[in-house]
Amino acid sequence: MKDTIRLVASAAVLAALLACDIFPSFGPEDDGMKKLDQARALWMAAGPDRYRYAIRRNCFCPEGYVGPVVMEVSGGVATERLYVASGDPVPQEIASAFPTVDGLFTILEEAISEGAFRVAVTYDPLLGYPRGVSIDYDEHAVDEELGFEVTQDVEGL
């Protein structure tokens, strides 16, 4: 009987300690953040300061928010965003829907840090930028997923 009480008490103490985050956690988010940091370091070292690329959003969004959009970026700032199909400029009020490469890294970092249910990324092996991104923020929510796909590789200008 004493052994059973001792076992139950030990399990309760262990559960309380785990709930208090006393033990470090080594989950998928740690691996995701490590890969993100490595890819970002490669981008910082090898990526061009001025570049062009095209990106498409995968989301349950109005048509103008999907793209694909070809972007020109200089010094981390988008200088041009044009819809690939029409050549029309992206309206300023929705321009932020199409991030720069640095913006993609920020979106990924926030999703991982905030504990998104699933974050899947493929990185370019030469320059490190995210080529494909899929984020499911909440396992139980519907239509909150967000994704990005690079449809034209980064090209230095």
pLDDT in tens, 120-151: 999 999 999 999 999 998 877 776 688 999 99
Please identify every stretch of the chain with a pLDDT value under 50, giving residue numbers as ranges.
Answer: 3-28
**The model scores a pTM over 0.85:** no
Q: Is 100 helix (H, G, I), strand (E, B) or coil?
A: coil
Indicate whether 10 belongs to any domain.
Answer: no
Render pLDDT for 87-98 as a digit per residue (tens, 0 to 9). Answer: 999 999 999 999
Residue 133 resides in a domain: yes
The pLDDT of residue 145 is 83
What is the DSSP annotation of 46-90? HS-SEEEEEEEEESS--GGGT--EEEEEETTEEEEEEETTT-PBP
- Starting at the earlier edge strand, list the strands of the sheet with 77-83: 77-83, 69-74, 50-58, 146-156, 130-136, 118-123
* Residue 5 resides in a domain: no
Q: Is residue 6 included in any domain, yes or no?
A: no
Residue 27, pLDDT score: 41
Which residues form the domain of 71?
A: 26-156
CB 47 within 8 A of CB 101: yes
Closest CA to 147 of 38, 36, 67: 67
Residue 2 domain flag: no
Number of structural domains in the chain: 1
